[in-house]
């Protein structure tokens, strides 16, 4: 262990020498003996000893007590006084310098050693205490919370700088005051004073937390939202010594909470209330009506017409900007108490609180429609849109918010059907229609699972030989109680509710399987006789080359797993790709041109052929005929119908056939009902024909039987 260094201050040289010898013998180091107060101060500063042994009575100059005072002020070291006699005055004066001991002369080595060691121990102990205290203060000064402590009687004893800043009170001023005066806390809502947590924790002997929504009033009268707690402080005998309080400025937290709450309930694009908030307000209105039946309200759904077109042609940014600018126009058309919300996409919902008569509701709808008719100037474009509005009055006597929104939706769709820029008020009739529709939707959704779909096959023949070239698979719905429904009665609905893709896939699988079966039944081609299929005795074909045509809704092209699914079906059924012709309509190119082109190219890699159906009815833009990989074109039956009587139709058909041939595509004429129509088409060079003249769509079993004959 390092030896402790002791400075001896003693003006009697003999005693000093003796003392030095004793100390060295005891294991201390004594680098110097000094004889005057001044010398003592200089030597202490110079040597930095661990302890000073100080004679109180020094013969000249400063006495020991004064020298010790100066030394302890400069250096944090213990001093022990040596004295031969001690009058009360001297002792009193000495004790002011907080000495670590007195040794009366003469003394023994043992006594000396005990005193020195006790002084060292005491000094070390005090040092530790002091360090702890400093550490604690540093912590309290650096934390971001305000901390204040009181004594057991509830008077302030301590405040850290944050607490000072929060209250505007300096610690020095606050000490000894009541926390109720320095920390004035009020309830944000009731504005009543709240019992100070420090005092409450002292009273209750327990940790207490601030209630929500508490404001701290600063000395200057400002208000800060605060949170947190106070707790009693116990000494080691378990008695309450005081209390400590921690206060946190919750301004930021509140701001963040408010922002989060706002975000959860508002649409980020338009800043309007979102669906959640709208449903909440609607629920409140429903509840209020339940309590007071004379209260009423109106729900309106506003859907922008043509929004999708704008979005698709001018881009999402323009679309978004348009939605942003629609919001203030909606608001401007309504009272400030009404709620305008964006439910999603281009659909807005409105709640007119307290409106019970239909005239007011219609008037509001008209104002909205007129307001939205005015052009929007966005990105240098003058955009014209219109809106369809569905209105539902709360007087319709059924239930919840979901029903109301659904009814408004039904009315909105009716308005859309009526034409752009109109509104409809929901009525019970619509409800009935909607219910019928809903039941039908449900039934249709389950039609595949309940095995109610059928596939019929209509031959497509070579016009010259009338040999069967292909069979078009046409779906039917065997609906219990309603008989065999034709596709026109359910395909549009299936497209609306999105089950068409499942139906088409099911039909494709059936058709592929069926063709496989027929192919395995034998060789030779098929011919037509009396509206039925027969084995073609004259055929020179060694094996059947009959293909299958399957209709494909344009909805498929909005999904991207189409090709994978089709490849899977071909693989499962073992049908070779080149026997399959997929019939698509022009709408595919209009709705999803880019995706469609890519998917068609991929389909072609499966070796299937692409057939453009109903040609002439749609946009009939000839430009995409060569932009897309189309193998053949089917001329719509509306043209064939008039071909024998209407020269204009005839010329159109001629032009289409010529164009297709120029582009290397084969042509099928649909809906051939008379021999005359067939003959004209033959003359025009049309390759294939389909129609009641040759055969109706037949069910699979009928065809199988005919082939077995």
Question: Which two structure tokens, joined as six digits, stand for 709?
Answer: 């004959």
Residue 305 interacting entry, from ligand C2E, Ca ion, none, C-beta within 5 to 8 Å by type: none
Q: To the nearest whole angstrom, how small is the minimum distance from the Cβ of residue 685 to Ca ion?
A: 20
Considering beta carbons, is residue 11 or 670 the nearer one to Ca ion?
A: 670
Cβ 527 vs Cβ 466: under 8 Å: yes
| Binding flag, residue 504, Ca ion (CB under 5 A) | no
What is the smallest separation between the CB atom of 457 and ligand C2E, expressed in angstroms? 10
Answer for the pair 426, 408: CB distance below 8 angstroms, yes or no.
Answer: yes
Angstrom CA distances, 662 to 583, 626, 658, stand at 21, 10, 6
- Check: CB of residue 670 under 8 Å from CB of residue 701: no
Identify the CA nearest to 388 among candidates 496, 476, 301, 508: 301
36 contacts 30 by C-beta, under 8 angstroms: no
Residue 168 CA, chain-centre distance (Å), reads 42
Q: In the complex with Ca ion, which residue's Cβ is closer, 391 or 632? A: 632
- Name the minimum Å distance from CB 691 to ligand C2E: 3
Question: What x-and-dash track marks residues 132-171 binding Ca ion by CB under 5 A?
Answer: ----------------------------------------
Shortest Å distance, C-beta 569 to ligand C2E: 13
Phi first, then psi: what are they for 347, rounded to 5°? -110, 125
Chain residues 57-76 in contact with Ca ion, contact rule CB under 5 A: none
Q: What is the DSSP letter of 10?
A: -
563 binds, among Ca ion, ligand C2E, none (CB under 5 to 8 A by kind): none
CB 382 within 8 A of CB 332: no
Q: Which DSSP helix (H) or strand (E) runs through 111?
A: helix 109-142
Q: What span, in angstroms and rounded, lies between the C-alpha atoms of 385 and 378?
A: 12
The site partner of 692 among Ca ion, ligand C2E, none (C-beta below 5 to 8 Å per kind) is: ligand C2E
Out of ligand C2E, Ca ion, none, which partner does residue 501 contact, by CB within 5 to 8 A per kind? none
Point out which span in 8-16, 227-235, 296-304, 665-673 binds Ca ion (CB under 5 A): 665-673
**What are the start-end ranges of the E strands in 156-281?**
156-159, 184-187, 208-209, 214-217, 223-234, 240-249
State the binding partner of 65 from Ca ion, ligand C2E, none, CB within 5 to 8 A by kind.
none
SS (H, E, C) 527-569: EEECCEEEECCCCCCCCCCCEEEEECCHHHHHCCCHHHHHHHH
CA distance 702 to 709: 11
Whichever of 71 and 507 has its CB closer to ligand C2E, that residue is: 507
| Residue 35 near which of Ca ion, ligand C2E, none (CB within 5-8 Å, type-dependent) | none
Select from Ca ion, ligand C2E, none the partner in contact with residue 610, using the beta carbon and a kind-dependent cut-off of 5 to 8 Å.
none
When binding is defined by CB under 5 A, the residue of 41, 613, 667, 695 that contacts Ca ion is: 613
Question: Per CB under 5 A, does 551 bind Ca ion?
Answer: yes
Q: How far is the CB of 441 from ligand C2E (least distance, A)?
A: 17
Judged by beta carbon distances under 5 to 8 A according to partner kind, the member of Ca ion, ligand C2E, none in contact with residue 691 is: ligand C2E
Rank residues 691 and 700 by Cβ distance to ligand C2E and give the closer one: 691
- Gyration radius (Cα) of the chain, Å: 50
Residue whose token pair is 């030779």: 524
Measured from the CB atom, is 510 or 551 closer to Ca ion?
551
Among the listed residues 525, 453, 472, the one whose alpha carbon sits nearest the alpha carbon of residue 695: 472
- Pick the closest to residue 637 from 668, 669, 683 (CA basis): 669
Residues in touch with ligand C2E (CB under 6 A)? 458, 474-475, 486-488, 491, 500, 504, 507, 551, 553, 583, 613-614, 637, 670-673, 690-692, 697
CB of 408 to ligand C2E, least distance (A): 31
Residue 507 binds which entry of ligand C2E, Ca ion, none, with Cβ cut-offs from 5 to 8 Å by kind? ligand C2E
DSSP assigned state of 643: T
The pairing of strands 698-699 and 453-462 is antiparallel
Nearer to ligand C2E, 70 or 617 (CB): 617
SS3 170: coil
**Phi, psi torsion values for 83, nearest 5 degrees:** -155, 145
Q: How far is the CB of 688 from ligand C2E (least distance, A)?
A: 13
What number of CA atoms fall less than 13 Å from residue 354's CA on the CB side? Answer: 6
Min dist CB 681 to ligand C2E, Å, is 13
Q: Find the distance separating the first CA and the last CA of the chain, reported in whole Å.
A: 120
Q: Which is nearer to Ca ion, 409 or 613 (CB)?
A: 613
Among Ca ion, ligand C2E, none, what does residue 619 contact (CB within 5–8 Å per kind)?
none
Burial category of 340 from C-beta neighbours within 10 Å (exposed 0-12, middle 13-18, buried 19 and up): buried
Q: Which of 346, 583, 586, 687 binds Ca ion (CB under 5 A)?
A: 583
- Cα–Cα distance for residue pair 696/530, rounded to 1 Å: 11
- Closer Cβ to ligand C2E, 365 or 463, answer by number: 463
How many residues bind Ca ion, per CB under 5 A? 5
Residue 99 CB neighbour total at 10 angstroms:
21
- Contact call for residues 615 and 589 (beta carbons, < 8 A): no
CA 614, CA 622: separation in Å to the nearest integer? 13
Bridge partners, 226 (sequence order): 214, 249
Question: C-beta of 639: minimal distance to ligand C2E in Å?
Answer: 12
Stretch that binds Ca ion, among 139-147, 166-174, 500-508, 580-588 (CB under 5 A): 580-588
Q: Which helix (H) or strand (E) holds 54?
A: strand 51-55
273 or 459: whose CB is closer to Ca ion?
Answer: 459
Which part of the chain contacts Ca ion (CB under 5 A), choosing from 113-121, 424-432, 512-520, 612-620? Answer: 612-620
Would you call 631 exposed, middle or buried from its count of C-beta atoms within 10 A (0-12, 13-18, 19+)? middle
Question: Measured from the CB of residue 475, what is the shortest distance to ligand C2E in angstroms?
Answer: 4
Of 8 and 584, which has the nearer Cβ to Ca ion? 584
Closest to ligand C2E by CB, 390 or 671 = 671
Residue 153, classed as helix, strand or coil, is coil
Piece in contact with Ca ion (CB under 5 A), picked from 251-259, 277-285, 607-615, 676-684? 607-615
Q: Which does 50 bind (CB under 5 to 8 A by kind): ligand C2E, Ca ion, none?
A: none
Comparing CB distances to Ca ion, the nearer of 501 and 551 is: 551
Which option in ligand C2E, Ca ion, none does residue 184 bind, with CB closer than 5 to 8 A by kind?
none
Smallest separation (angstroms) from ligand C2E to the CB of 562: 13
CB of 615 to Ca ion, least distance (A): 8
- 586 lies in the binding site for Ca ion (CB under 5 A): no
Considering only 138-146, 229-237, 346-354, 610-618, which stretch makes contact with Ca ion by CB under 5 A?
Answer: 610-618
Residue 107 contact, options Ca ion, ligand C2E, none, Cβ 5-8 Å cut-off depending on partner type:
none
In degrees and rounded to multiples of 5, residue 410 shows phi and psi of -60, -45
Could you list the residues that contact Ca ion (CB under 5 A)? 551, 583, 613-614, 670
């Amino acid at each position: 262990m390092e030896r402790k260094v002791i400075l001896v201050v003693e003006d009697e040289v003999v005693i000093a020498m003796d003392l030095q010898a004793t100390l060295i013998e005891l294991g201390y180091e004594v680098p110097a003996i000094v004889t005057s107060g001044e010398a003592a101060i200089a030597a202490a500063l110079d040597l930095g000893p661990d302890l000073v042994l100080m004679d109180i009575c020094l013969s000249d100059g400063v006495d020991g007590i004064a020298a010790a005072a100066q030394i302890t002020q400069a250096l944090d070291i213990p001093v022990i006084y040596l004295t031969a006699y001690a009058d009360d005055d001297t002792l009193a004066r000495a004790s002011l310098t907080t000495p670590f001991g007195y040794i009366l002369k003469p003394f023994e080595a043992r006594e000396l050693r005990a005193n020195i060691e006790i002084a060292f121990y005491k000094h070390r102990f005090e040092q530790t205490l002091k360090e702890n205290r400093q550490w604690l203060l540093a912590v309290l000064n650096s934390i971001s919370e305000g901390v204040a402590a009181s004594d057991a009687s509830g008077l302030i004893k301590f405040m850290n700088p944050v607490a000072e800043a929060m209250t505007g009170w300096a610690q020095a001023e606050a000490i000894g005051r009541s926390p109720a005066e320095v920390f004035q806390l009020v309830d944000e809502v009731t504005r009543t004073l709240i019992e100070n947590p420090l005092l409450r924790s002292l009273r209750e002997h327990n940790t207490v937390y601030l209630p929500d929504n508490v404001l701290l009033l600063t000395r200057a009268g400002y208000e800060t939202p605060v949170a947190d707690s106070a707790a009693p402080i116990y000494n080691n005998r378990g008695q309450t010594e005081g209390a400590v309080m921690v206060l946190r400025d919750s301004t930021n937290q509140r701001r963040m909470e408010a922002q989060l709450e706002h975000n959860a309930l508002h649409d980020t694009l338009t800043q309007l209330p979102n669906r959640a908030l709208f449903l909440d307000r609607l629920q409140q209105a429903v509840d209020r009506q339940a309590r007071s039946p004379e209260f009423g309200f109106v729900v309106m759904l506003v859907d922008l017409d043509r929004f999708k077109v704008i979005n698709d042609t001018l881009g999402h940014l323009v679309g978004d900007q348009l939605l942003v600018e629609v919001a203030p126009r909606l608001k401007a058309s309504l009272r400030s108490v009404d709620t305008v919300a964006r439910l999603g996409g281009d659909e807005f919902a409105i709640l007119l609180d307290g409106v019970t008569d239909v005239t007011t509701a219609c008037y509001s709808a008209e104002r909205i429609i007129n307001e939205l008719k005015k052009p929007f100037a966005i990105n240098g474009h003058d955009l014209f849109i219109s809106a369809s509005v569905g209105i539902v009055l709360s007087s319709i006597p059924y239930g919840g918010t979901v029903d109301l929104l659904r009814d408004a939706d039904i009315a909105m769709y009716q308005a859309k059907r009526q034409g752009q820029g109109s509104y409809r008020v929901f009525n019970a009739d619509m409800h009935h229609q909607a219910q019928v529709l809903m039941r039908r939707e449900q039934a249709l959704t389950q039609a595949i699972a309940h095995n109610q779909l059928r596939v019929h096959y209509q031959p497509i023949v070579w016009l010259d030989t009338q040999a069967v070239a292909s069979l078009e698979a046409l779906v039917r719905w065997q609906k219990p109680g309603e008989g065999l429904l034709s596709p026109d009665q359910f395909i549009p609905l299936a497209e609306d509710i999105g089950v068409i893709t499942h139906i088409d896939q099911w039909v494709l699988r059936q058709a592929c399987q069926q063709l496989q079966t027929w192919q395995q039944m034998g060789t030779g081609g098929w011919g037509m006789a009396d509206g039925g299929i027969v084995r073609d005795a004259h055929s020179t074909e060694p094996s059947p080359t009959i293909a299958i045509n399957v209709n494909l809704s344009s909805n498929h092209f909005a999904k991207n797993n189409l090709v994978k699914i089709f490849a899977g079906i071909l693989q499962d059924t073992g049908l070779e790709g080149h026997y399959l012709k997929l019939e698509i309509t022009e709408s595919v190119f209009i709705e999803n041109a880019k995706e469609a082109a890519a998917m068609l190219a991929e389909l072609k890699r499966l070796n299937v052929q692409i057939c453009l159906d109903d040609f002439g009815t749609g946009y009939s833009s000839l430009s995409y005929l060569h932009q897309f990989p189309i193998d053949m074109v089917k001329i719509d039956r509306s043209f064939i119908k008039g071909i024998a009587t209407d020269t204009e139709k005839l010329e159109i058909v001629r032009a289409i056939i010529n164009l297709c041939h120029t582009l290397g595509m084969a042509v099928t004429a649909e809906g051939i009902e008379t021999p005359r129509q067939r003959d004209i088409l033959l003359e025009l060079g049309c390759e294939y024909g389909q129609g009641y003249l040759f055969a109706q769509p037949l069910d699979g079993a009928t065809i199988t039987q005919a082939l077995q004959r």
